[in-house]
Amino acid sequence: MSELNFADLVEPVVVDRKTALRITVLGGGSFGTAMANTAVRNGCDTMIWIRDEATAKEINETHINRRYLPDFNLEQGLRAVSDLETAVRDRDIILVAIPSHSFRDVLRQIKPFISAQAVVSLTKGIEAKTFSFMSDIIREELPEVPYGVLSGPNLAKEIVAGQPAGTVIASHSELVRYAVQQALHSALFRVFASDDVNGVELGGALKNIYAVAMGMAAAYNVGENTKSMILTRALAEMSRFAVKLGANPLTFLGLSGVGDLFATCSSPLSRNYQVGYALGKGKTLEQATEELGQTAEGINTIVQVRARSNELDVYMPITCALYEVIFEGAPPMTIALSLMKNGHRSDVEFVLPHHQV
């Protein structure tokens, strides 16, 4: 591995295995694997559940997730399992890193094995048709379970490489916040706490929309001025929508808001950025998605948020323009034009009273 591994420069956290937190990550994608690897580095007794038995066996033998993180050696202590009951029963925290379209089904499958475990979503998306966020699904399917959501500027490859990063655990339960911090917080991965579950989760889901837009913009070689305008207007658009749904606008000034937006919109490592770039180069949505080989939550989020913003009468010009470009064949210039019309009295949301939208 050619990357500098910061983890090699820091003393590992030593935890008594008898008292180590028992962590399970459901989902063997890039981010789920990164969080499982982080938990092992932090001294936790950690499993990762992967549907395919052969893949789980290969990870245990080679300590490499060849599909999602082929260039990285995983921690020796990480155990991959394919049996769901083994993964869930008698654990302390279940971190769910399942794509939004399968999230509810997996929760239904683990319900018989849930006792006192906390369930924390790592998924940044919205369920199609229901407009349910992952915390909504947890409450509906596991109503007695303490829960939370984890979100922030967390590109998986950088985290596995041991580069310093931070995230936010949001929960109404102080115990859940503390437990997740104990499991994941380290010298290289800082875990902040919040009780604004709506805001943190909305930030994580909505920023995927604008990563698609930024990828498309990159394909057209736009300048730094344009990129900066997209980012700041995206932040305004996100916060307008989130506040309508009960979130605290100040949450969007943190890691789960502007932090995640900046990282996802600035990095070619972002799946949503990659899909947007491919679309900007003239590929179809099917071609772009197939080439990626992973779920790009932003495409579904565009569809869901556009419909909901129309219902709520929230002004979201970038989202609506993206929908027109991707699904209705509008020229990409539509996105640029959406940024230039309907001027605002203030470029910062919620500063001036009765601000125009």
Strands 132-133 and 118-121: unpaired
- Out of 207, 244, 281, 283, the active site residue is 207
| Sequence-separated (6 or more) residues with CB below 8 Å from residue 192 | 152, 166, 167, 168, 169, 254, 255
Is 129 a known active-site residue?
Answer: no
Q: For residues 205 and 207, what is the distance between their CA atoms, to the nearest angstrom?
A: 6
Greatest alpha-carbon span in the chain: 61
Handedness of CA 183, 187, 192, 193 (dihedral sign): positive
Q: Three-state SS for 58?
A: helix
CA distance 279 to 13: 44
For 227, counting Cβ atoms within 10 Å of its Cβ (0-12 exposed, 13-18 middle, 19+ buried), the class is: middle
Q: How many residues does the chain have?
A: 357
Catalytic residues: 207
